[in-house]
Structure formats: C-alpha cells, structure tokens
A and B are shown apart, each in its own frame.
Chain A
Amino acid sequence: MVITPVHYIVAPLLAAFAIPLLSKIYKDAARVVPGIVLFYNMIISFVLMRQVLKHGMINEIIAGWQPPWGINLVLTPFTGFLAAMVSVMGFIIWLYGFRFKRTLKGGVVKYYEILQMMMIAGSIGVIITGDLFNMFVFIEIVGITAYSLTAFYRDRNGAEAGFKYLLLGSLASVFLLLAILLIYTQTGTLNMAQIAERMPEVSSGIKITALIFFLIALGIEAEMFPLNGWTPDAYEQAPSPTSATFAAVVSIAGIYALVRVLFTLFDVSGVHQYLIVMGFITMLVAEIAAISQKNLKRMLAYSSIGQVGLVLIAFGIGSQLAVFGALFLMLNHAVIKSLLFMTGSYFIYNSGEKRLEGLNGMHKRLPYVSALFSLAAFAIIGFPPFSGFWSKFYILIAASDQKMIFLIIGILLVTIIELVYYLRLVGRIYFAKEEMQDIAHKPSVNALVAMSFLALFIILIGIYPDIITGYINQAAAALLDKTHYIQQILANK
C-alpha cells in the first residue's frame, strides 16, 4: 500500500464510523481504536515527511477530480511539518488521556475519544488541504467537535463555555464563508494555488474586503485579540486532555489557516504590520489578564493566547528567520503548553479545585508531576537551557534584523509578566503549606509516559536544538516560497 496524505483523513473517518460497531464486540473499542488511528497517523506523518523532504512536495488529487472542481491535499515541508507535529501531539495526548474518566458513566464519555480523534483529524485536514472550501469544511469539523468537547461536563459552566465558543465559532463560519464566496466570485476557483495565481487581477477593494473577512474569521480560530473571547472559557471548562489538544492542535491549525491565507493567497501590503501590532496586543492583553487569574486552567489559557500572540508577531516580521522562529515557537508551545495542561490536570484532580490554592504544596503528593510542571513553566518562560529559550531567541534575532528595538523590549517586558505568574505557581507547588489528608491520585503509567516524553523533548531540544532546526528551516522556506508552491500545484494539474 502506498502511503498518501489522504490516509490522514480517511483513517479517522473510517474509524469513527466503525467504532460504534466494534464496541458491540469489544467494550473498550471507543477508547483503544482512536489510539491506534492516531498512532497510525503519527507513523504516516513521519513517512510522508521523509518523502517530502526527499522528493519534494506531494500534491494528491482526490478521486481524480482535477482542481478547481476536485479536492487536493498538499504536503510541503511546511504543512508536512505541521501535520507531523499535530499528529504526534495528538497521539501523545491520547496516550495521556487513555484512562481518562473511564469510570465515568454517561453519553458523551463514551464518545469522548472519538470526538477527540475527529478534532485532531480535522486539524490535520485544515493543514494539508489545498482547497479553500475544503479548509472551511475541516474548520467546521474541528469546531463542532470542539464545541461538544467544551461542554463535556454537562454542567452550567460547561454549557456556557460551549455556547460562547459556538457563538463565536459560528460568527467565524459566517465570515469565512463570506470571504470564500467573495474570492470565488472574483477568481472562479477554490484551489488556493490558483487563487493565489489569479489574485493580482482582483480589484483591490474586493480583495481587501475579503481579506478583512478572512482576518476576522481566522482570527477567531487563531485566538487573536479581540476575537478570542471564547478561549479562556473553553480551555477552562473542557476536560484537561482537550484543553491540551486545544493548545497543541486546534490553535496550531487556526494559526496555520490564518498564515496560509495571508501569506499565500493575498499580496496585500500592511498585513505584516497588522500581524505584528495585533500579535503584540494579543500577547500583552493576554499576559496581563493571566497574571491576575485565580484559576489554574484559565491562567494557562491566557498564557496560550499570549504564546499565539508571539507566534503572530513572528509571522508578521516575515523574514525566513522569523518564520523559522515562529514555527519553532509553535512546536514549543504545543509541547510545553500541553505538558502544562497535563500536569495541571493532575493537580486539579488531586486537590479537587481549579483555583490556584489547589496547587499548594502539591510536590509532596505528586513529586514527579510537580517537577515536570516546573520544568514546563521554566521552559515556557524561556529560561535556557530549555527549548522555549531558542524559539524566543530566534524571534528576537529576526526582530533585531528589522531594527524593531521597541518590539523586542515589548516582547521581553511581557515575558517578565509571564515569568511572574509562572514562578508564583512553581512557588506555590513547592513552598506553600498544604492541608490535605486523603490519598494522592497518582498518575497512571500511560500518562507518565506521555508527560515524560514531552519533558524529554523539552530538555533535549533545549540542549541540542539542531535535532529539529533543519526541518523547521525547510518548513519556513516552503511557506515563504509562494511561487514555488503555486507552480508545483498547477504543474501537477
């Protein structure tokens, strides 16, 4: 069997339909099968990445229907890298959440892993599709699964958060659809390469209007301020593995969509400045909000938004090095933030409360998890020698190349805010007085393995970043080389 990008999509879809049947035979199918699928995705992402790096871009046309009518899946070093990242994270999060809530009874619980799997598959779809409408569809898949996962605990708060997400998500859909419509009427195609090719002919008024619709719609998905009102609630109310998925997978897909549209489709100037300014505002507001949070998961959610802001800034700078830094940061964010959510989840599980007081003196109960949490906190602040440092460092170098001294100072000042609240958390874990008597809920083996893997990654990359920089470099180059992308896809036609 030849492995092609379509496997990314087909396997989860098939599994999603098969699982209800299989559960008749094997009770745990709903939990095990998604893991197998995600593992398979991970494997093929490695295989495909290898292939892409060796032979160049893969452009798979589904069922022989040529663009613009058909659907095509594109795997460049850029999308391949992101797809690999997302699928690896997907599998690790599954591994972590394998025994999650297995004792809980109820409707949604049964389908939890399926939804989770579909969310990850949808995200991969967003990343690898070469077709605008198809992207919309995948974004909807991600959205719908995400809404239902947000409302997983069917209580008041969960429902409210899910509803907020739904509200903004549907706004995003509306505007996305509007934008796609505008583009389609002007260019007569939905294939991104073709749109990009024909874009110069579109009148600038319509082009910019479409761009603004895209910015609004994808800004919501990418958690850009002031469109990210759903984020803190969703991250807080969703079950922790889902929160980790939001950070490690969904937000990555959102950023990807935004960047792909802005970088490949449009040739409008001012976009970069827009990204830098909005990215900075996003980051600043998020970190300011984070520092005064009283709830652990909300704090982490705001911190995620902050990271996204930095990623947007880096994309806004737009040089090869900056995009390199942005991708590196996306990777770090995915790894570190999901580790934070994973470990944080155990703190909440143990103390039974989401407020920060629940962390007090946790190291006595969960020494290993506490150490991992501290490690992740240090990494996300950007202390060397952990991986977070390098991404920040490259972004700063890229900014210095553009002489953006105030941007650099701004980023670093915001980092200080970040440092304050993360270190407060670490201090709480290690040095606060605790008042608990009951037995600790020790993490299960699979969760430990997942978390240790992420921690190992943080340290390894931190000490020797060369493991990964080669890939990221090629990915960054692939994103920036727009003409190559267009030519390759159109030549394949």
Chain B
Amino acid sequence: MNPIINILLVLFAGSILAFGIDSINRKWTGWVAFLSVLLATFNLLSQTQASDVVFSLGGIRLKWGLSSLRLYFTYIIIILNLLAFLYSIDYMKGKARLGYFYSAFLLTVLGMFGVVISKDFVSFFIFWEIMTWSSFLLIIYNAYYKIKTEGLKYMIFSAIGAYAMLTAIVFVYHFYGTFDIATAIDQGVFSFENHIYIPLFFALAFAIKAAIMPFHIWAPSAYADSPMSFTSVFSGAMSKMGIFGLLLVLSTYYALHNPQAYIFTQILAWLGGITAAMATIYALIQTDAKRLLAYSSISQLGYIVVALSTGTKLGVMAALYLAVLHAVFKGALFMVAGAVEKQAGTTDMTKISGLIRKMPWTFFVALVSVIALTGIPPVGGFVGKWLLYEALITESNNYFLVIVIFFSSTAAFLYAYRFLFGLFLGQEEKETENVKEAPVKMLIPMLILALISIVTGIMPGLIFKPAAAAMREIGFENVNWEMTSLSNVWGNQTDLSLIGLFIAAVFVLIFIFLTFKGKKNTRYVGTKDISSSGELWKEGENWTFQQDFYKPFERAAAPLYKYKMNKIWEDFGNALEAFFNFFRRIYTGNGQTYALYVIGFLVLLLLFKDYIFR
C-alpha cells in the first residue's frame, strides 16, 4: 500500500485508539501513541518513493504525494515527533486527560504530515486547519484561564491566516481553474504580475504560522503554556509549516526577478530581521525559562525567514539547514525545560537554580543545544549561522540586515547564558535539594537530539544532501555541498572536520593536563563555600542572582523596549469588544421596538424601492 495512506491511517487510528485506551488503562495511552508514530516512521523510512494518491472528493480533485522537498520536511516532522512522543510517556505520567492529549497530539502530527504531502490547495487547507485546531486543543490543555487570552489569541491569528489563505485559494481556483499546487505555480499564481493579493494572502498565513512580527504575539504564550513535549514539536516542527509554505510561495521569485517581487522579498527579509532582533531582546528579560525559549524560538524563525528571502543558493540552503537545526536544538531545549518542570516543579528561574549536579545529563543536553543555538563552533548551529551570514554578505546585498542579524545573535548569548545559569548554575537552593535526574525515557530523546547537533557540526553534509535535493525541486540546479566543509561563492573555505579535529586534540591535551594535575587533593565545595568579600553566608540567606538579570542591558536598550506589539493588538481587541457590546444593543429585547423595526424597514424599502429593485 501507499506509504502516505498508511501513515495517515496509522496516525488517525492511533489517535482514536489512544482516546479509547485511556479509559481502560492509562499506562498504555502513551505507548499506543508512541507506537503509532513509530509505525509511521517505519512506513516512511521503508518506502520513500511513493506514487501520488489522486482521488476526487466533493467534486474536487485531490492529490497527495511525496517529493524531495516534501520528504525533507516530512523527516523533520516525523523524527522530531517520534522523539517527542517517547519523551511524552514519562513527561505526561500522572497528568489528567491523557487520552485527550495524545489524541489531539496525534491529530496534530497527522495535520502536519498532511500539509506537507498535499499537492493541491484544498487538502493543504484541510490539513492546515486540522493541524491548527488540534494544536489549539493542546495549547489550552494546561489551563483554562489561558483559553480566554492566550489560546484564543493563537486561534484568532491562525484563523486570520487560514482564512486569508482560503480566500487566496478560492481565487486561485477562479483565475487559474485548478487547485493543483504545482500547476498553479507553473502558471505564475504567486508571481506579482497579476492578482497581487494571492501571494500576499498566502504569505500572511505562513508568516503567522512562522510567528513573524507583527503577527507573533500569539507565540510566546502558546509555546510556553503548552505541555513541553508538545511545544518541542510545536516550535520545532509546526512552525516549519509556515517556512514550508513560504518556500512554496517564494520559489516563484527565485526564478523570477520582477521589481514587485524584489520589494516583497525585501520587506519579508526585514520583517524577519526585526523579528529576530526584537524577539531576542524580549527573550533576555524573561524570568520564566519556557517563555525565554518561546521568544528565542520566534527569533530563530526570524533568521530562517531572512535566509529564505535572500533567494540565493546559500540563503535557501541556510534556511533549510536552519529549519532542521532549529527543530533539533529547540526541540531539545523545550524538552530540557520540560524535564526541569517535571523534576523541579517549575521553570521560573527566580525560584530554582543550581540544578547542574542534580540533573547532569539534562544539563549536558542543554549545554550542547545552547551552543548550537548561539552558533558557536564546532556544533551544528555554527554551520547555519555561517551559511546565513555568507548568504547575506556574499550573495545578497543586504549589508545592514547582517548587522541586525548579528546584533540579535550576539544578544542571543545573553539569553542563552541566562537559560543555562538560571536553571542549572548558580546557588544550590534548599527548594531544589531533592530534585532527581529526569527519567531515562525522557533523557534518550534529548540525548539523541544533542547528538544530532554535535554530528551536524562536523558533518553538515548529512543535511546538505537531502536539502540539495529539495532545492533542486524549487529550481536550484547544481547546488554544491561537501560533507565536512563549507565554501562560499568567493571561494573561501571553512574546513569543519579540521576544526573539529583540532578542537578535540586541544581538548584532550588540556583535559589531561587539568584533570590529572594535582587531582588527589582537589575536592568539590558547595556553592555556599565561596569568597564573598568578607561576608559570610548565613542560614536562610538567598544568594541567588536571578532578578533583573540584564538590567544594564535593559537600560542601554531602553528605546527598543518601548514599543509593545502586544499592547497595540490588545487595545485593538478591547476597542472591538466595546464596539460589539454597543452594537448588540440593537436587540433591545423590547417587542415594540422590534415591531417598529419591521415598520421602519418597510417604510425604508418602500421609499427606496426604485433604487433597490428594477
């Protein structure tokens, strides 16, 4: 059977089964869900060559299929999900409504998979919506009071995006007579020559999903308030659906260079850049690790959009590479946050600190992922950063965008350090005395993700290979890539294997030197045993430095913090609500008024009948 159908069926059946089994034995729910994703993974890996599925539904021809580009995103989705489901088993242990959770989660996966395999707009939209509402169910899983504000925010923005897309879709059908994506693109549906709103509407939908400013305000809470095992997928894979869509839209311009398209990509690039910068500076003032990661996630997506908008070989490669890597390290980081939440009860950095000795493996994953996030060699993140900068500097002439990006990735050190310090370093407080390392089933997925980060730092070719195939599909012939080194169009080279080797060599030497020199008498001292300019620690005194962590930076960058998109949207919403409340008084509840309406309306119609009817 066709693997596409198989995977959809497996996921769907898993969703129903998980819901059912929850009422029989709660222990099995997670395993059933995991098993169904595992089956889907096997299906995908066993047959990557699938013929298209074509059938008619409601008089509309639907087409599902895989291609190298689609396969690329499918890998991101399926593999990240597999790990997230394994992680979920222990993470969700002891929580309520497991059936609900897993069932919605599997539907989300199904939606994401469906979006990627859809080759026509209708099924694209259908799966897009399934993905959206099932993820909404997961966002509101944790707290009711959120639904009124955060959950709805997500849903409203998603709906605006989805309906913009729907509008565009029906007009695509009207003008081009087809729902087929490839055909429509070939006929220039996204070119700016005619019907300018079609690409704009599509772009709006995707930009919202990718949390690009000024449509990002749903994202911080949605990411931070969902169960972490879902957030790792939400931020890691589902936001990539926005990127996937943007790639489809932008692929038209890569071949085509009309001025409107240029302006469009420039605007998009700057939006991405501003997103990256602003989200970063907001990330570093957060005190909750989850929110910090959420903002960080938004800023990372900003990079990807910038990379996409350059439209050059390196740029698109950077976008595809970052898409994977963001899924890897951000998935891992959210899992870390989840593990901390699970073990220590909170991720509020003002409440906990000094977990490094309690949760060393989690810390290791966090460390590797943070290094990947900040883009320090020799971990995979560097490759992405390198591709991005080289694309901007050597192939596109967006020099000032480079600065915006560089500003945000430098400022990213700040929040990256904040995250590590806030949770793992610093004083070991009494509250976290009894914290244990996360269970093995949670550690394994995190370690796998960390491993991917490390391996891709030395051998990015592992990702370049499918990425190059994907790029061929959207019109980039002859994409050059090497397994272990990077080179730009000016012929400069960075040899990653050599760097890795060198670092490893120095590491070993220094390690041996430092570790074995006078090891005998060295002992570990607690975090209270420190030199403190003469003051001594007294029982009950809190020496944790967590509040106002980057106050100096905040003061320096005060003008940047002035503008709050959130506030603008909130004011808008409140004004709308007030208007609605005023407007509904048309229905007075008074019979006489209603009768008056009828008579008045009759008089109106009679008065203006010549204008209305002919």
Contact = CB atoms under 8 A, between A and B. Distances in A.
B586 A270 contact: no
B94 interface: no
Interface string A122-160: 000000000000000000000000000000000000001
Interface residues of B, number: 55
A289 B598 contact: no
B344 interface: no
Interface in B468-484: none
A465 interface: yes
Interface stretch (A11-19, A336-344, A345-353, A383-391): A383-391
B598 A216 contact: yes
In this complex, the member of B577, B591, B593 whose beta carbon has the largest number of chain A beta carbons within 10 angstroms is B591
Interface stretch (B70-78, B144-152, B425-433, B521-529): B144-152
Contacts of A437: none
Contacts of A168: 591, 594-595, 598
B57 A465 contact: yes
A420 B598 contact: no
A416 interface: yes
B597 A400 contact: no
Contacts of B601: 216, 219, 226-227
Contact of A469 (B58, B126, B598, B614): B58
Given A227-B597, A399-B170, A469-B58, A424 B147 contact: yes
Contacts of B156: 416, 419-420
Interface in B125-160: 125-126, 129-130, 133, 136, 140, 143-144, 147-148, 151-152, 155-156, 159-160
Interface stretch (B435-443, B556-564, B605-613): B605-613
Contact of B580 (A226, A292, A390): A292
Contacts of A219: 601
A233 B170 contact: no
A383 B336 CA distance: 34
**Dominant SS among interface residues on chain A:** helix
A409 B587 CA distance: 25
Interface string A442-469: 0000000000000000000000111001
Interface in B46-73: 56-59
A465 B597 contact: no
Contacts of B197: 405
B22 to A, nearest CB: 11
A409 B166 CA distance: 10
A56 interface: no
A419 B151 CA distance: 12
Contacts of A465: 57-58
A268 B613 contact: yes
B587 A209 contact: no
Nearest to B136: A423
B584 A288 contact: yes
Nearest to B127: A384
Interface stretch (A250-258, A307-315, A426-434): A426-434
Contacts of B602: 175, 212, 216
A403 B171 CA distance: 8
Contacts of A226: 586, 597-598, 600-601
Interface string A402-432: 0101001100110111011001100110111
Contacts of A413: 163
B308 to A, nearest CB: 27
A428 B602 CA distance: 41
Given A401-B174, A427-B151, A431-B143, A163 B591 contact: yes
B583 interface: yes
A164 B170 CA distance: 42
Interface of B: 56-59, 100, 122, 125-126, 129-130, 133, 136, 140, 143-144, 147-148, 151-152, 155-156, 159-160, 163-164, 166-167, 170-171, 173-174, 197, 577, 580-581, 583-584, 586-587, 589, 591, 593-595, 597-598, 600-602, 605-606, 609, 612-614
Given A289-B584, A383-B130, A412-B163, 12 more contacts: A164-B591, A227-B598, A229-B591, A292-B580, A384-B126, A384-B130, A393-B166, A397-B173, A412-B167, A423-B136, A423-B151, A464-B57
